[in-house]
């Protein structure tokens, strides 16, 4: 994909006019085509009402199109795609839809997000499931990361929860090999794909993963409030819905008759799903697929390499994200000796309009480098860090947002 594509995409994102927006790993910027698609849908309801035939037909078509696009993104079938509210909802469906007994084990890692760790701990609280924690860190090779997981997986393992890209280290993990290790012991594998959808090519067939949850609002650059869950077709009947409504019934009456729905992916969905969010996510997915998943990922990795070269020469700066090419992604992390990462992040935004986040667990600043970002923006961030080191960060600089301050305390 040529640089003209990235320039076009950048031109469709008004936020880039003023900001060096490097925070797609938290929430990606929406583009004009995404907003236009949402407006068209809202205008349709405004003019015709939400339940007229034409509007209802459009609602159904948007849902079908959503499943088709998400299936293309994951290399799955539309009949394996459930519509969710976000990644975390999909993770919870998969974690809590299995049967557990005391003595079962679930495997997570030291680089897992709270959306994977906390559901695992709740399994321990509710069912007596043992939580095994693989020691994963950014400087491991893919083989070393595999060994960290494999050492925790055994005959009692019921489920492995893995972020294919860790939000906290930026590390791409060897999913296919981890899945193979888990399957040899009869365990299932659930992927938290919060950092992968819209970032890297995903192939659930090649990896043979069992469950894969993704969002709209991060690297895909769609709206908040929507996600998808892939469940491998032969496993749908074995994964129970944890919240139920009419779609979880194959049939029922008002005299006690009831047959649970077991085979259809829609059993995990409740009732109302916003058509405007569907329209916006579909537009975002179209842009991503037209750009090319391989090309998007390679551009992100190219920017990561540039950032590594630019930052590793700065006095007092340490690059904390992976340097192994097999683990490299668009997430670039660094730390500044003697400075809290929260203050560095805040200084970047307040002084240079560089939007990024901290990862308090590893005392790092994280730049999410997407295909619409530029080398000039990386230079802008680096120059601001150099100034912070040279001149010091004023005492009145506070965390970029109250929400980020809270998030850092939790992760």
At 365 the three-state DSSP class reads strand
Q: Find the CATH number of the domain harbouring 392.
A: 3.90.1150.10
Beta-strand runs (E) in 248-307: 249-252, 258-260
Pairing of strands 130-134, 81-84: unpaired
Find residue 336's DSSP bridge partners.
317
pLDDT score for 400: 62
CATH of the domain at 228: 3.40.640.10
Q: Which helix (H) or strand (E) holds 130?
A: strand 130-134
Report the C-alpha gap between 219 and 11 in whole angstroms: 17
DSSP line for 149-217: HHTT--TTEEEEEEESB-TTT-PBP-HHHHHHHHHHTT-EEEEE-TTTTTTS---HHHHT-SEEEEESS
Note whether 362 and 232 are same-domain residues: no
Specify whether 300 is located in the same domain as 285. no
Residue 224: the pLDDT is 97
Q: Among 383, 263, 366, 386, which residue's Cα sits nearest to residue 315?
A: 386
User: Which one of 274, 289, 304 terminates a domain?
Assistant: 289
Q: Say if residue 365 is in the same domain as residue 248.
A: no
- For 90, the token pair is 């999909």
Helices in 75-138 by DSSP H: which ranges?
Answer: 87-96, 114-127
- Where does a domain end: 289, 311, 344? 289
Residues 277, 303, single domain; the answer is: no
Cβ–Cβ contacts within 10 Å for residue 372, how many?
27
Domain boundary among 244, 259, 289: 289
Distances (CA, A) of 62 to 225, 280, 288, 359: 16, 10, 17, 36
Which residues 6+ apart lie within 8 Å of 62 measured at CB? 41, 275, 278, 279, 282
Same domain, 221 and 104: yes
Residues 149 and 233 in one domain: yes
Domain that holds residue 336: 3-30+293-410
Nearest to 263 by CA among 282, 274, 275, 249: 249
Helix axes 275-291, 293-311, angle to 10 degrees: 80
Task: Report pLDDT for 384.
Answer: 98
> What is the number of domains present in the chain?
2
User: Using CA atoms, how far apart are residues 316 and 183, in angstroms rounded to an integer?
Assistant: 44
Of 74, 314, 381, 399, nearest to 207 by C-alpha is 74
317 and 255: one domain?
no
Enumerate residues 6+ apart whose C-beta is below 8 A from 18. 353
Kindly state the DSSP code that residue 400 receives in the 8-state scheme. S
Q: Are residue 350 and residue 259 in the same domain, yes or no?
A: no
Q: Tell me: do 200 and 285 sit in the same domain.
A: yes
Q: How many angstroms separate the CA atoms of 30 and 351, rounded? A: 24
Residues 282 and 299 reside in one and the same domain? no
Residue-by-residue pLDDT tens, the chain, 411 positions: 579 999 999 999 999 999 999 999 999 999 999 999 999 999 999 999 999 999 999 999 999 999 999 999 999 999 999 999 999 999 999 999 999 998 999 999 999 999 999 999 999 999 999 999 999 999 999 999 999 999 999 999 999 999 999 999 999 999 999 999 999 999 999 999 999 999 999 999 999 999 999 999 999 999 999 999 999 999 999 999 999 999 999 999 999 999 999 999 999 999 899 999 999 999 999 999 999 999 999 999 999 999 999 999 999 999 999 999 999 999 999 999 999 999 999 999 999 999 999 999 999 999 999 999 999 999 999 999 999 999 999 988 887 665 555 555 444
156, 267: one domain: yes
Strand partners, 187: none
Q: Are residues 264 and 368 in the same domain?
A: no
Instruction: Using CB atoms within 10 Å of the CB of residue 65, give its burial: 0 to 12 exposed, 13 to 18 middle, 19+ buried.
Output: middle
315: its two tokens: 């006095």
* Predicted pLDDT of residue 39: 98
């Amino acid at each position: 994909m040529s640089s003209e594509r990235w320039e076009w995409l950048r031109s469709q994102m008004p936020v880039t006019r003023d900001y060096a927006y490097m925070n797609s790993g938290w929430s990606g910027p929406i583009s004009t085509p995404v907003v236009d698609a949402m407006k068209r849908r809202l205008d349709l309801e405004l003019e015709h009402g939400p339940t007229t035939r034409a509007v209802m037909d459009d609602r159904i078509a948007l849902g079908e199109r959503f499943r088709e696009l998400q299936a293309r993104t994951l290399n799955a079938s539309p009949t394996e795609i459930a519509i969710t509210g976000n990644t975390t909802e999909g993770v919870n469906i998969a974690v809590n839809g299995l049967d557990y007994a005391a003595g079962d084990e679930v495997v997570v890692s030291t680089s897992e997000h709270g959306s994977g760790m906390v559901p695992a701990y709740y399994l321990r609280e509710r069912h007596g499931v043992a939580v095994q924690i693989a020691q994963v860190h950014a400087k491991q090779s893919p083989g070393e990361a595999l060994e960290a997981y494999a050492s925790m997986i055994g005959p009692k393992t019921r489920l492995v929860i893995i972020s294919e890209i860790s939000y906290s280290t930026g590390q791409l993990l060897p999913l296919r090999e981890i899945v193979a290790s888990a399957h040899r012991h009869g365990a299932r594998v659930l992927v938290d794909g919060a950092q992968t959808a819209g970032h890297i090519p995903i192939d659930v067939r090649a990896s043979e993963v069992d469950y894969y949850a993704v969002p709209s609002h991060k690297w895909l650059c769609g709206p908040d409030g929507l996600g998808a869950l892939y469940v491998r077709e032969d496993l749908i009947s074995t994964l129970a819905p944890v919240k139920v409504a009419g779609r979880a019934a194959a049939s029922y009456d008002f005299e006690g008759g009831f047959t649970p729905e077991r085979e259809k992916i829609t059993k995990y969905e409740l009732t109302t799903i916003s058509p405007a969010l569907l329209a916006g996510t579909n537009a975002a997915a179209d842009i991503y697929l037209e750009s090319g998943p391989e090309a998007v990922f390679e551009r992100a990795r190219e920017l990561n390499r540039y950032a590594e070269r630019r930052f590793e020469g700065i006095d007092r700066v340490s690059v904390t994200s992976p340097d192994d090419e097999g683990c490299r992604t668009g997430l670039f992390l660094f730390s500044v000796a003697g400075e809290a990462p929260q203050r560095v992040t805040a200084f970047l935004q307040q002084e240079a309009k560089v939007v990024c986040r901290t990862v308090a667990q590893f005392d790092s600043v994280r730049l999410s480098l997407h295909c619409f970002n530029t080398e000039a923006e990386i230079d802008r961030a680096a120059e601001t860090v150099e100034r912070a080191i040279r001149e010091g960060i004023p005492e009145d600089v506070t965390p970029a947002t109250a929400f980020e301050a809270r998030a850092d305390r939790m992760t």
